[in-house]
Chain A
Amino acid sequence: MNIRNTLLAGAAVLALAAGSAQAKELTFGFQGDANSMDPYNLNETFTLGFMANIYEGLIRRGPNLEIEPALAESWEIVEPTRWRFHLRKGVKFHGGEDFTADDVLFSADRVRGDGSDLKTRLAGVTDIIKVDDYTVDFVTEAANPILHFEWATWGIMSKTWAEKNGAVSAQSATGDQENFATRNANGTGPFKLLSREADVQTVAVANPDWWDNANKEHNLTKVTLKPIGSDATRVAALLSGQVDMAYPIPVQDMNRVDSNSGTTMLVGPELRTIFLGMDQHRDELLYSNIKGKNPFKDIKVREAMYRAIDVEAIKKKVMRGLSEPSALMVAPGINGSDPAFTRLELDVDLAKKLLDDAGYPDGFEVGMDCPNDRYVNDEAICQAVVSMLAKIGIKVNLLAQPKALYFKKVLAPSLDTSFYLLGWTPGSFDSWNPLFNLHGCYDADTGNGKFNLGRYCNPEVDALTAKVLSETDAVKRNAMIRDAWVHTTRDIAYIPLHQQALAWGARDGVNVKQRADNQFAWRHVTMD
């Protein structure tokens, strides 16, 4: 009897061991959590990237951000303002519902409806027409060559599921009711949501019925997100093997992760550009000792500041080598980025002379706004800028504060800043977005230049930006983008600093593909 029990127990242990050899369970730590399981809730990199593993769009982005067909097998431009998408047949949602054109139409309504933060996905789309169950036409106001560029993060939801569970519109910020989609998900993607505990853990399992399983790269069976807010704790969790992968790793800990046996760093340039903006609109600067005029309106002053800031020193001292100084407001990898542009050279003497010429031989005083919890080492970068500008006599009074306060102060409608640091990644990976948002003449009513906090304005750039939007010929379009960048860099509309580096840490044996947009796509992960 005893022997038999022992044997049985032994067999059970063996079976378990065999089972766990098959199971590839990835646990990863991130500094925050996806805010909601509703894919339209927040237009923010982490939430979008997380949900893209569960909900798929008509297109998807590959490891190098190339556009691949996903729920749409192919598409064509029927007329300049009419795009036709042929949907993939035989795709099922996790709940078993068939994917058809009705779901696309429903998702289009939902993404443009109340509570959605992804309304821009269909900006300029006037009509969506179901041609048949697997063909959908998108009619646009004007020709738009980049219509589908951001659709990888417009996940298609099931109409039946949403209607059945009362999740027809996205979670509203007001009211007392929780939306069903806030904690439940039903996409078509490679992973299915298993459980969701906000701030504790969110678990997904591989979808055995995924349409692309024949070509799948990953060998995961389960993925667990553990949000770990404190940097030191997140690094410790990775070093101790409690998580298989963690990001972001603070720059000061990267050597530890690399030198630790069993963990490695993955470092790559991010698409976000960090830059300094200057108020070129007000007749008198805020927080300055110069009264009655605005020194930043004078290009000589802007050039002097540009030439006084040593980005290489920032790279070496502040970023510990983990930044790529940038001449443009878009990173390499963004359509329209061009290595032919170069930064103005560092030249403190020339900078002093320029200030002299501009009529500020003794420099001037100005206030600077800076976040201290938004970008990699943001406050330290600002401090470095302060000391560099002090060398040419510009006394900068730095106000570094948490992003909640910083954004309230500097963003429209208050625009309460004269000199600030900001970062920008165009979600479409195309230059039009930063041209429109950061360089367009500020107009609160049309939304033109809504993040142009310094209100730089060059009508020629605006005209080019408008043409870029509707030009469908790629070569002509890129030439226009180039023209626009020539104007803005000549005007010194901004002082671009650098692209910060992505810093992911992973346990050895976990093979991860790092995407430059800092989204973590689990379908490219394999575990040994």
Chain B
Amino acid sequence: MIAFVIRRLFQALLVMLVVALIGFTMFRYVGDPVAQMVGQDTSLEDRAKLRQDLGLNDPVPLQFARFIGNTVQGKFGISYRIGRPVDELLADRLPATLELSLLAALFAIVVGVPLGVYTGLYPRRWLSHVFLTVSLIGISLPTFVIGILLILLFGVTLGWLPTFGRGETVDIGLWDTGLLTVSGWQSIIMPAFTLGMFQLALIMRLVRSEMLEVLRTDFVKFARARGLSNRAVHFGHALKNTLVPVITITGLQVGSLIAFAIITETVFQWPGMGLLFLQAIQFVDIPVMSTYLILVAFIFVAINLVVDLLYYVVDPRLRVERSGGGH
């Protein structure tokens, strides 16, 4: 088990290194930070000096090596745009993104799994058709369209919910949370819904098809023959057996929720890492971009690790194989 985790951590390092390298090679095509960092009256000489000071004239491999060297020492540089250390900046933004993505994931699971079970158990009921149709919309409409429609309806026309931002936040030590205030909850509803909509539809459809599959298997028939209640059959046996693929997909999706909250964060001006990253791209804020990419790579690997560990919990067979390795 420990060996497994350590092996995974090594893989994580490798992934992060590769992501950083790819990211760095792409930065050359994002543009010139110097034109953003100075005003129009700044002399050509000062511009050239700034470019030199930032090391932008060096070949990319050298810039990359310098970046890795600094990163290993925990120096992430200073944002070209805001002038603050990048690690502090990301740490400031992390709570907003995590709260949003976790709430979106929670919403997707809590609503998606029961809907999937329902549509799986009663595929012919009209309500199932309604759920499936709505989920189709969730999958096919782009996030920003859903977001803007929600803003127009609930923010502007009805005036029930705030149209942007995170509301009031409370600082609880390391964490700056919006989940302790009314305005914080009001603010997170629409972004979390927007972000979770796609995942909800995905989970629901996945659970549904898995349920349909499992319900046809022999052990479910035997369970029924044994006279178990419907509830025990559906939830105790059938649902449990659908969960392995669901957990895999959900885990991967939580990673992408965090990494790709960019669009939702932009539409709702949600002050998370995604918004920071998008602004960094527009500004060619290389320190922020590179650190963000590495962080996201790390989050992905970490989540996958957790998912792998969860398999052991859900699927007893894996545990048996491992522990019984000796005979």
Q: A182-B83, A230-B267, A236-B152 are in contact. Are A120 and B41 (CB under 8 A)?
A: yes
- Look across to chain A and name the residue whose beta carbon is closest to the beta carbon of B37: A173
- Look across to chain A and name the residue whose beta carbon is closest to the beta carbon of B166: A200
Chain B residues within 8 Å of A197, by CB: 92, 271
A175 is an interface residue with CB less than 8 A from chain B: yes
Please indicate which of the listed interface residues A226, A236, A451 has the most CB atoms of chain B within 10 Å of its own CB: A236
CA A173 – CA B46 in complex, angstroms?
A: 12
Instruction: Please state if B84 and A240 are interface contacts (CB–CB under 8 Å).
Output: no
B35 is an interface residue with CB less than 8 A from chain A: yes
Instruction: Please state if B83 and A179 are interface contacts (CB–CB under 8 Å).
Output: yes
B63 is an interface residue with CB less than 8 A from chain A: no
Instruction: Please state if A200 and B44 are interface contacts (CB–CB under 8 Å).
Output: no
CA A465 – CA B50 in complex, angstroms?
A: 29
A515 is an interface residue with CB less than 8 A from chain B: no
Chain A residues within 8 Å of B46, by CB: 119
**Minimum Cβ distance to chain B for residue A129 (Å):** 25
Question: Please, what's the 1-or-0 string for B15-47, where 1 marks a CB less than 8 Å from any CB in chain A?
Answer: 000000000000001111101111111111111
Please indicate which of the listed interface residues B33, B81, B159 has the most CB atoms of chain A within 10 Å of its own CB: B81
B132 is an interface residue with CB less than 8 A from chain A: no
Chain B residues within 8 Å of A201, by CB: 165
Chain A interface secondary structure, helix, strand, loop or mixed? loop
Interface residue ranges of A204-236 to B (CB < 8 Å):
226-230, 232-234, 236
Q: A229-B266, A233-B151, A240-B155 are in contact. Are A200 and B53 (CB under 8 A)?
A: no
A407 is an interface residue with CB less than 8 A from chain B: yes
Instruction: Please state if B165 and A43 are interface contacts (CB–CB under 8 Å).
Output: no
**Minimum Cβ distance to chain A for residue B220 (Å):** 49
A450 is an interface residue with CB less than 8 A from chain B: yes
B164 is an interface residue with CB less than 8 A from chain A: yes
CA A176 – CA B33 in complex, angstroms?
A: 18
Q: How many residues of B contact A (CB 8 A)?
A: 57
CA A424 – CA B278 in complex, angstroms?
A: 26
Instruction: Please state if B163 and A229 are interface contacts (CB–CB under 8 Å).
Output: no
Instruction: Please state if A35 and B39 are interface contacts (CB–CB under 8 Å).
Output: no
**Minimum Cβ distance to chain B for residue A261 (Å):** 12
Chain B residues within 8 Å of A373, by CB: 282
Q: A35-B82, A42-B37, A242-B162 are in contact. Are A173 and B42 (CB under 8 A)?
A: no
**Minimum Cβ distance to chain B for residue A522 (Å):** 21
A405 is an interface residue with CB less than 8 A from chain B: yes
Chain A residues within 8 Å of B148, by CB: 232-233, 236
B5 is an interface residue with CB less than 8 A from chain A: no
- Look across to chain A and name the residue whose beta carbon is closest to the beta carbon of B31: A404
- Look across to chain A and name the residue whose beta carbon is closest to the beta carbon of B263: A230
Instruction: Please state if B282 and A402 are interface contacts (CB–CB under 8 Å).
Output: yes
Partner of A228, one of B30, B269, B282: B269
- Look across to chain B and name the residue whose beta carbon is closest to the beta carbon of A170: B83
Instruction: Please state if B32 and A447 are interface contacts (CB–CB under 8 Å).
Output: no
- Look across to chain A and name the residue whose beta carbon is closest to the beta carbon of B269: A228
Chain B residues within 8 Å of A239, by CB: 156
A408 is an interface residue with CB less than 8 A from chain B: yes
Instruction: Please state if B267 and A233 are interface contacts (CB–CB under 8 Å).
Output: yes
- Look across to chain A and name the residue whose beta carbon is closest to the beta carbon of B48: A413
Partner of A42, one of B38, B44, B50, B88: B38
Q: How many A-B contacts if CB must be within 8 Å?
A: 162
A21 is an interface residue with CB less than 8 A from chain B: no
A444 is an interface residue with CB less than 8 A from chain B: yes
Instruction: Please state if B39 and A43 are interface contacts (CB–CB under 8 Å).
Output: yes
Question: Please, what's the 1-or-0 string for A16-41, where 1 marks a CB less than 8 Å from any CB in chain B?
Answer: 00000000000000000101101001
Interface residue ranges of A169-219 to B (CB < 8 Å):
171, 173-179, 182-183, 197-201
B221 is an interface residue with CB less than 8 A from chain A: no
Instruction: Please state if A413 and B31 are interface contacts (CB–CB under 8 Å).
Output: no
CA A120 – CA B47 in complex, angstroms?
A: 13
A412 is an interface residue with CB less than 8 A from chain B: yes
Instruction: Please state if A411 and B164 are interface contacts (CB–CB under 8 Å).
Output: no
B276 is an interface residue with CB less than 8 A from chain A: yes
Partner of A43, one of B38, B78, B267: B38
Question: Please, what's the 1-or-0 string for A153-179, where 1 marks a CB less than 8 Å from any CB in chain B?
Answer: 000000000000000000101111111
- Look across to chain B and name the residue whose beta carbon is closest to the beta carbon of A42: B39
Interface residue ranges of B55-105 to A (CB < 8 Å):
75, 77-78, 80-85, 88-89, 92
CA A124 – CA B164 in complex, angstroms?
A: 47
- Look across to chain B and name the residue whose beta carbon is closest to the beta carbon of A412: B44
Chain B residues within 8 Å of A242, by CB: 155, 162-164
Chain B residues within 8 Å of A427, by CB: 39-41
Please indicate which of the listed interface residues B31, B82, B83 has the most CB atoms of chain A within 10 Å of its own CB: B83
Chain A residues within 8 Å of B269, by CB: 226-230, 233
B284 is an interface residue with CB less than 8 A from chain A: yes
Interface residue ranges of A348-374 to B (CB < 8 Å):
373
Instruction: Please state if A233 and B164 are interface contacts (CB–CB under 8 Å).
Output: yes
Q: A402-B31, A404-B284 are in contact. Are A173 and B44 (CB under 8 A)?
A: no
Partner of B85, one of A178, A199, A413: A178
Q: A199-B275, A230-B266 are in contact. Are A117 and B45 (CB under 8 A)?
A: no
B292 is an interface residue with CB less than 8 A from chain A: no
CA A418 – CA B110 in complex, angstroms?
A: 58
Partner of A175, one of B30, B78, B152, B163: B78
CA A100 – CA B41 in complex, angstroms?
A: 29
Partner of A404, one of B36, B44, B151, B276: B36
Interface residue ranges of A222-269 to B (CB < 8 Å):
226-230, 232-234, 236-237, 239-242
Q: A233-B267, A405-B30 are in contact. Are A228 and B43 (CB under 8 A)?
A: no
Instruction: Please state if A413 and B163 are interface contacts (CB–CB under 8 Å).
Output: no
Question: Please, what's the 1-or-0 string for B187-206, where 1 marks a CB less than 8 Å from any CB in chain A?
Answer: 00000000000000000000
Instruction: Please state if A182 and B84 are interface contacts (CB–CB under 8 Å).
Output: yes
Please indicate which of the listed interface residues B37, B42, B283, B284 has the most CB atoms of chain A within 10 Å of its own CB: B42
Q: A173-B37, A447-B45 are in contact. Are A199 and B276 (CB under 8 A)?
A: yes
Partner of A236, one of B33, B39, B156, B276: B156
**Minimum Cβ distance to chain A for residue B241 (Å):** 44
Interface residue ranges of A115-140 to B (CB < 8 Å):
117-120
A487 is an interface residue with CB less than 8 A from chain B: no
CA A404 – CA B278 in complex, angstroms?
A: 13
- Look across to chain B and name the residue whose beta carbon is closest to the beta carbon of A48: B39
CA A152 – CA B11 in complex, angstroms?
A: 56
**Minimum Cβ distance to chain B for residue A116 (Å):** 9
Chain A residues within 8 Å of B75, by CB: 176
A–B pairs, 16, beta carbons within 8 Å = A43-B38, A120-B41, A173-B37, A178-B83, A183-B84, A197-B271, A200-B165, A226-B164, A229-B269, A233-B151, A236-B155, A403-B36, A406-B31, A407-B32, A437-B40, A447-B45
Given A171-B83, A236-B156, 14 extra CB contacts under 8 A: A36-B83, A117-B39, A119-B43, A173-B78, A229-B269, A237-B163, A242-B163, A403-B36, A404-B33, A404-B283, A405-B31, A408-B31, A408-B32, A413-B48
Chain B residues at the A interface, C-beta cutoff of 8 Å: 29-33, 35-48, 50, 53-54, 75, 77-78, 80-85, 88-89, 92, 148, 151-152, 155-156, 159, 162-166, 266-269, 271, 275-276, 278-279, 282-284
The 9 closest A-B pairs by CB, nearest first: A43-B39, A404-B31, A408-B32, A407-B35, A405-B31, A236-B163, A200-B271, A182-B83, A171-B83
